[in-house]
Structure 1
Amino acid sequence: MYVLRRRVLLEKILHSSMTGGVLLLICAVVAVTAANVPALKWLHHFWDIDFGFMFGEFSFNMPVRQWVDDVLMAVFFFSVGLEIKRELLVGELSTMKKAMLPMFAALGGMIFPALIYTYFNAGTPSASGWGIPMATDIAFAIGVLSLLGRRCPVGLKVLLVALAVVDDIGAIIVLAVFYPAHEIHLMYLVYAALVVIVLILLNRAGIRTLLIYLLLGLVLFIFVFMSGIHATIAGVILAMTIPAKTSTGDIRAFTGPDSPLGKLETALHPWVNFLIMPIFALANAGVVIDSSSIGQGSMPAVVPGVFFGLLIGKPVGIFLFSWLAVKLRIAGKPEGTKWLQIFALGILGGIGFTMSIFIDNLAFADPVLINAGKFSILATSFLAACLGLAALYLTTKKDDKNNVF
């Protein structure tokens, strides 16, 4: 009985959004400390060490940080893709009525930050970073929301999760279209397309052996990597081809033991939250804080662009587009929620962190701009978390009958 209780407790910890968010925050603090404390500089520079191997004409020799950004993050995007597919099939995006509010909210939460960023950066070397403030870090945002416990209406959590999923879809599209990793090689794209066709045919044929999909997914990753498109996109594409139906053909039972999608999503969750994301934070959140990191004499435009894009653009865009969707009767407001709570939720949407840093690395070649972008992302995400938590606390009541979270 004691062993069983410990196992149940461990499973709760591993599947807790708050625990994952706290670990991510700790790793970010460690990365920033390592970048600024001389005794820990070795950890900061470790990620720049070249590592790789040769396989025929393929050369995989790159810095450790790039291994994290290309390979480990492909697994992260695979996990995101599985979640997106689940939500589209049986979740909060499975019907048009359910999907309209988070779709509108996410659209506003992407358009307004991009416009604000562009206002500050148009005509500057940092203009290409408009995609940075468009993203929301779902792990951090849900983790912060979890701190409210039973004060938070369940409708708000559902809206945040659905909004973040749509936001991820938008970020993936922006990443694939506007931020290619290298020069595009069409031949490898053709090879990748052929692999995708095979994966789709396997799905349609009812093949549910995960090993086959994962091996073909590895081949897909290599071709996408060689094509010049960022290799993480391969993870999303592979996820879309993973079968969701059980052996009985019941799609609603996708979380059951016979469902490849359900098994993979459950199995990957702790690995993504407690290994991949912390490693990404350690590798990429290290910001050197000095006068040169945010400009000597003048602040790079990327700093106010990211700051106001995330902290102002996100909540304003999410709130206005949500209000518009409800007033036009395109969507309904979640039961038991107030407009002030939705605005407060929008502030949490300003927690960009993981996805914002990821796009920051791709948007700029200048290390000063990359560092300035990271500095603004970290500072703004922390401020958005504090302000969003305070705003939600002040606009919710613990004894609300809708607060079953």
Structure 2
Amino acid sequence: MRHEATPGILLLACAALAIALANSPLHHAFHAALHTPLPAAPLAKLDTVHAWINDGLMAVFFFVVGLEIKRETVSGALSDARRRRLPVLAAMAGMAVPAIVFLAVSQGQSMLHRGWAIPAATDIAFAMGVLALIGRRVPSSIRLFLLTVAVVDDLGAVLVIAFFYTSGVAWAWLAGAAAVFGVLLALNRAGVSRVAPYAALGVLLWVCVLQSGVHATVAGVLAALTVPMKLDRHGDSPLLRLEHGLVPFNGFVVVPLFGLANAGVALGQAGLAGVLAPLPLAIAAGLFLGKQAGVLGAVLGAERLGLAPRPAGAGVLHIWGMALLCGIGFTMSLFIAALAFPADPDLVEQAKLGILGGSLLSALAGALVLRMAPARLP
């Protein structure tokens, strides 16, 4: 259970279970369990199990993402301008090129263009899981670089969700969210180190953002950014305590449940025509071709132009394999697909096919390239 690859393997198992249930005689019962309105719902927007997972539990996922972003920015790989230059460039190219590939493949299908951000995200649990299974053949610098790229990628995904997948804003609730966020910042400035006030106000912020029309998961990142990082005399901080406590819950509960609730797609109904439809093809091409082209091109281009050196001890095959693993967009891609086509379940199902195909192809190709790469370089 402590192995680094375990959360990725568990997520893969839950995704496989979801696909199996969606293609079994139990598919109607499985769908009803997720989407039937609950007998009692304290919040009107959370009236099904599926909504609680996607808008409730996933807020915890993004809270952990926010904690990781702040830690890396304050004292990690993103705290030094020279060290963050290359992963930031790689992450930006790794989001822009897949979007361009998606739009190029889906040209002429304007109704699909809202899904441009689906192949722009990287699933860190899957990617790090594949990397961990390969073992010591991969330089430690590649692991750190992939982790840093994924953190910047997650920040980009949160900004995309906030600015491009928000509609019908309720300004009174948004003002309430801003007020709660201000109180959280005041607690931070006052040096409050107890976790309880941040947790209570974080929940209140989530409720306000949920009711405002902005996606509720944005509240998770905003709340995380207010948690103090300053170390005490024991080398501890509220941020480190929360991250240490929530990372296992995130990896072993939140993300697997999200995979179980969202990965199910009826493969038999799709058929060859469904797999080769413009949306699945555009997403799969964006993940497999766009991600590797963007990340690999950014790393080699930055090195050629003298902007930043490549990760220490890494050859071209190591960087290429890592760039391929960035094309595993499972969790975040599924999440954005649901936001991109909320009124068209058929397009969401098509998007799932492209996400599964592109992510699986990226994982297998990335593992193969990294296995072919030399174990050590001077």
Moved over 6 A (4+): none
| Deviations, residues 87-139 of structure 1 (Å, cap 9, x unaligned) | 11111111111101101111111111000101122342211000000000000
Q: CA deviation at 1:333?
A: 1.1
Q: Is the 8 Å Cα contact of residues 110 and 135 (structure 1) preserved in structure 2?
A: yes
| Deviations, residues 294-345 of structure 1 (Å, cap 9, x unaligned) | 756x943111111110000000100111112222222111111012221111
Decide which of 222, 243, 247 is 1:265's aligned counterpart: 243
Moved more, 332-341 or 102-111: 332-341
Q: Does the alignment pair 1:314 with 2:291? A: yes
Q: Does the alignment pair 1:381 with 2:368? A: no
TM-score under structure 1 normalisation? Answer: 0.89
Q: In structure 1, how many angstroms separate the alpha carbons of the residues matched to 2:178 and 2:39? A: 26
SS for the counterpart of 2:300 is helix
| Deviations, residues 245-282 of structure 1 (Å, cap 9, x unaligned) | 1234xxxx7xx4x4100000010011000011110011
Q: Identity percentage over the alignment?
A: 41
Structure 1: which amino acid aligns with 2:208?
A: F
> 2:11 — aligned with what?
24
Long gaps (5+) in structure 1: 1-12
Q: Does the alignment pair 1:157 with 2:135? A: no
> 1:101 — aligned with what?
86
SS for the counterpart of 2:35 is coil
Q: In structure 1, how many angstroms separate the alpha carbons of the residues matched to 2:353 and 2:24? A: 16
Q: In structure 1, how many angstroms separate the alpha carbons of the residues matched to 2:199 and 2:260? A: 27
Q: In structure 1, how many angstroms separate the alpha carbons of the residues matched to 2:279 and 2:152? A: 25
Q: Does the alignment pair 1:174 with 2:160? A: yes
> 1:141 — aligned with what?
127
Q: Is the 8 Å Cα contact of residues 41 and 47 (structure 2) preserved in structure 1?
A: no
Q: In structure 2, how many angstroms separate the alpha carbons of the residues matched to 1:216 and 1:84? A: 20
SS for the counterpart of 2:44 is strand
> 2:29 — aligned with what?
42
Q: CA deviation at 1:291?
A: 4.1
Structure 2: which amino acid aligns with 1:386?
A: L
Q: CA RMSD in A?
A: 1.7
Q: Is the 8 Å Cα contact of residues 119 and 329 (structure 2) preserved in structure 1?
A: yes
TM-score under structure 2 normalisation? Answer: 0.95
| Deviations, residues 348-381 of structure 1 (Å, cap 9, x unaligned) | 0110000000000010121111001001101221
Q: In structure 1, how many angstroms separate the alpha carbons of the residues matched to 2:60 and 2:348? A: 24
| Deviations, residues 182-238 of structure 1 (Å, cap 9, x unaligned) | 411112111111111111111011001110011001110111001100000000000
Q: CA deviation at 1:19?
A: 0.5
> 2:169 — aligned with what?
184
Decide which of 118, 132, 136 is 1:132's aligned counterpart: 118
Q: Is the 8 Å Cα contact of residues 138 and 161 (structure 1) preserved in structure 2?
A: yes
> 1:6 — aligned with what?
none
Structure 2: which amino acid aligns with 1:31?
A: A
Q: In structure 2, how many angstroms separate the alpha carbons of the residues matched to 1:292 and 1:336? A: 45
Q: Is the 8 Å Cα contact of residues 293 and 372 (structure 1) preserved in structure 2?
A: no
Decide which of 361, 374, 377 is 1:396's aligned counterpart: 374
